[in-house]
Amino acid sequence: MIGLPSLEYQHAFDLSAARIGREDGKKLVVASNAFYAREAITRLRGPQLIAQGWQLDDTFAGVHVTTLADVEGPFNGIIWSEPLRDTAADTLPKLLDLLAPGGALCVISSGALSRFLPPTHAENQVPLKWANIQPILNASSLKVERAMGFHGVVSIAWSYGFRLMNALNRLDLADRCLYKMRSVYAVPDGRACTLHTAITVKGSPA
């Protein structure tokens, strides 16, 4: 059982919660499993926050849990974590209908390099990659304001360089590799996000 999300997803949840936290009013968390629901809720604790469809422990006693079909909006902020292949196209219009004018929707998804992360879904649940989510978002009325990718190809390459230099006891070069990895760990460029491990996107109704 995984106790914490990977560092990439921790950053994605932190950033999404910071963006949604700027909005007043009710918040909604829609997650493809309870693991990610808890991560989002932990960062957005509040009596008006609603989690879609997951049983949570007593730690989240102030959170109202229901199914998406029974949710009543509008919401000023929504976090949608790991949209699934079978339901994403149908879920997005429902979320946009629940979003208040001027509200914000943050989408957290895996990128092409998510194979480097430990699995968190059941075998019958297939999360959509960013390359497949992007056309769904573009075809909707959602205006994507910003996308941020975490731990992409360049960052991963420097991390392997760090490990190699450590193994060779070249601590001076290992330190340089670590610095370079951190400098490119998060990339605020939607075009480059496909080749990252985790992505967070913020948008609002057009």
pTM of the complete model: 0.76
Higher-pLDDT residue of 127, 76: 76
pLDDT, tens digit, 9 for 90 and up, residues 54-75: 666 666 666 777 777 777 878 8
- Look at residue 1 in the predicted model and tell me its pLDDT: 40
Count the Cβ atoms, other than its own, within 10 Å of residue 26.
Answer: 22
Higher-pLDDT residue of 162, 110: 162
Domain map (residue ranges) of the chain: 7-152+186-205
Model confidence at 176, pLDDT cuts 50, 70, 90, reads: very high
Identify whether the C-beta of residue 108 lies closer than 8 Å to the C-beta of residue 57. no
For the domain made up of 7-152+186-205, give the CATH fold: Rossmann fold (3.40.50)
Does pLDDT of 168 surpass 90?
yes
Higher-pLDDT residue of 52, 162: 162
115-133 b/e (C-beta count within 10 Å ≥ 16 → b)? eebeebeeeeeebbbbeeb
Which helix (H) or strand (E) segment holds residue 105: the answer is strand 99-110
Closest CA to 19 of 142, 141, 147, 134: 147
**How many separate helices (H) and strands (E) can be counted in the chain?**
6, 8
Length of the chain: 206
Does pLDDT of 122 surpass 70?
no
